[in-house]
Copies of this chain bind each other. A is one copy, B any other.
Amino acid sequence: MRARHYCDKCAIRDRALCSALPPSAAVDLSRIAHYRRIPAGQIIQSEHQGLSWFAIIVSGVVKLVKAQQDGRQQIVGLQFPSDFVGRPYTSQLSLIAEATTNLELCCFAKGAFEALMQEHPALEKALLRRALDELDASREWMFLLGRKTAREKVASLLSSIAARFAQPKNEADCQPAALRFDLPLSRNEIADALGLTIETVSREIRHLKSMDVIFTAGRRNVIVPDLCVLRAMAEGEQA
């Protein structure tokens, strides 16, 4: 089942890597693509066994985890739909990649993809742009890890997920920016992303609820009545 049949109706067509390519490169890329579904929780790439393919995320979320023998671990990257998964130019990776939700991927065999990179410099250019953007994002996250309080950390994560995922709460109710979304992460994963413990995450979420900055329905569903207020919390305004 080849992806080229589906590129026309691909949900992320206009945001993914391929949208930045000239037509000839995009067609060549679609020729080596194949779809793949992966269930939540599955490990895509472990520390010692690299990936034999690269992928563009069509739907779902991937976490990149750095772990130490003593059990400590830190999520060092989250990849969302239209993001690129995999690292060219190296075989040894000290990262674990895992599906935090069910995934739909548009995959490319590693060898074939690297051959295409030789042929189409535009592909390398597009990857460079993405790598630089990821670098910017990871630096933003370093500030969070090093200098923000637990409350600011939780607010930051929620607001950045909201910005990626949220749809207006409902169409009739056209408030300035009322958003609703499902967290793609468990409490444990949130803690690992923020450099906190699950208990602290739980307490800070409770606090945000008590301030009416967010509302929750069930364990994963979140409503943000006003994203600006949440963003202000993320920057440390008021206590």
Contacts and interface: CB of A to CB of B under 8 A. Distances in A.
Interface string A20-40: 000000000000000000000
Interface in A122-172: 124-125, 127-129, 131-132, 134-136, 138-143, 145-147
Interface string A42-74: 000000000000000000000010101010111
A188 to B, nearest CB: 14
A95 interface: yes
A143 B135 CA distance: 15
Nearest to A145: B145
B121 A64 contact: no
Contacts of A64: 139
Contacts of A89: 128-129, 132
Contacts of A127: 128
B235 A68 contact: yes
Contacts of A66: 139-140, 142-143
Tell me which of A68, A125, A236 has the highest count of chain B C-beta atoms within 10 A of its own C-beta: A125
Nearest to A70: B236
Interface string A103-133: 0000000000000000001001101110110
A12 interface: no
A194 interface: yes
Nearest to A140: B66
Contact of A131 (B77, B131, B236): B131
Contacts of A94: 136
Contacts of A76: 139, 142-143
A176 to B, nearest CB: 24
Given A66-B143, A70-B236, A131-B132, 4 more contacts: A73-B147, A74-B146, A76-B142, A147-B195
6 contacts: A66-B139, A66-B143, A68-B236, A70-B236, A77-B139, A134-B135
Interface of A: 64, 66, 68, 70, 72-74, 76-77, 87-90, 94-95, 121, 124-125, 127-129, 131-132, 134-136, 138-143, 145-147, 194-195, 235-236
